[in-house]
Amino acid sequence: MAVGIIIIGDEILSGRRHDKHLPKLIELLTERGMQLGWAEYVGDDPARITATLRRTFASDDIVFVTGGIGATPDDHTRQCAAAALNVPLVLTPQAEALIMERIADTSPDGVADMTQADNRHRLKMGEFPVGARVLPNPYNKIPGFSVENHHFMPGFPVMAWPMMAWALDTYYADLHHLTKHTERSVLVFGLAESTLTPLMEAIEAEYGGIKVFSLPSVGDAERGAVYARRHIDLGVKGDPALAGAAFERLVAGVEALGGEIIHAAQAVALLEGTVPSAK
């Protein structure tokens, strides 16, 4: 079982809007000791959305889906979810009640006048695939929905992010901090990835449950300081019981190869123009 996210909307693919959901979900998962396994971006193409959901429904993954659950012509997610499951859309009673509450909340007289065509149209936002559960929206009460391990929410961060957190805490509390994980890294200068590869392979072979990662940079002038130099962010991640020894092995190996090493605290201090406090 992995955690994934599907971000839907032509506006993301065209660049009209920048996606903020991916980094936020990573943050929410990290706070709970969980990790993101995959992410996909899909435009407002019903056939593609349906095919994507049909594939992910066939897995046991936990999937967050943002965007396209409104009631305008360019919103297809509710219909595509139903098509992927081969079930009809139905007005869910709990969703209907919440939408009517919202209509009343925004009405001058505090009454949900359902004789108005626009108010009746808003009820379409409560039409979910048969068997769906309501996903609460603390911002304006207009709910999303959950089906199996899939959770569908609006594209608005102010609504989607609390809904993500609610689903993680309500349905997956038993997965929080289930897998112990840690990560340690250094900045390496003066060595090529090809030179480091045998060392990385040896460490993964010696320490089961540990992965070695290498993130090369040609230099980030905008960030400045040591980051402006060509470097490799090199580190280990995985089982905390093994990470310490694997990290020391990594550092020793880089030094033996003649590489220059700057540790994370040193890099931050150089960036900020401060000196790490002595311990």
What pLDDT digit, counting tens, does each position of 74-104 carry? 999 999 999 999 999 999 999 999 999 999 9
The pLDDT confidence band at residue 139, using thresholds 50, 70 and 90, is very high
Residue 149 has pLDDT above 80, yes or no: yes
Instruction: Please tell me whether residues 118 and 251 are part of one structural domain.
Output: no
Full domain range(s) for residue 189: 182-272
pLDDT of residue 277: 41
- CATH number for the domain that contains residue 187: 3.30.70
User: Is 279 domain-assigned?
Assistant: no
- CATH number for the domain that contains residue 112: 3.40.980.10
| CA atoms of 74 and 165, how far apart (whole Å) | 27
> For residue 134, which of 172, 105, 98 has the smallest C-alpha distance?
98
Instruction: Please tell me whether residues 241 and 149 are part of one structural domain.
Output: no
User: What's the domain count of the chain?
Assistant: 2
Residue 279 has pLDDT above 50, yes or no: no
Residue 16 backbone phi and psi in degrees, to 5: -65, -30
User: Is 250 domain-assigned?
Assistant: yes
Among the candidates 175, 210, 228, a domain finishes at 175
Instruction: Please tell me whether residues 106 and 187 are part of one structural domain.
Output: no
Instruction: Please tell me whether residues 71 and 125 are part of one structural domain.
Output: yes
The upper half-sphere exposure of residue 210, i.e. CA atoms within 13 Å in the direction of its Cβ, equals 26
What pLDDT digit, counting tens, does each position of 13-61 carry? 999 999 999 999 999 999 999 999 999 999 999 999 999 999 999 999 9
pLDDT of residue 271: 65
Predicted TM-score (pTM) of this structure:
0.81
| CA atoms of 267 and 150, how far apart (whole Å) | 40
| CA atoms of 4 and 83, how far apart (whole Å) | 20
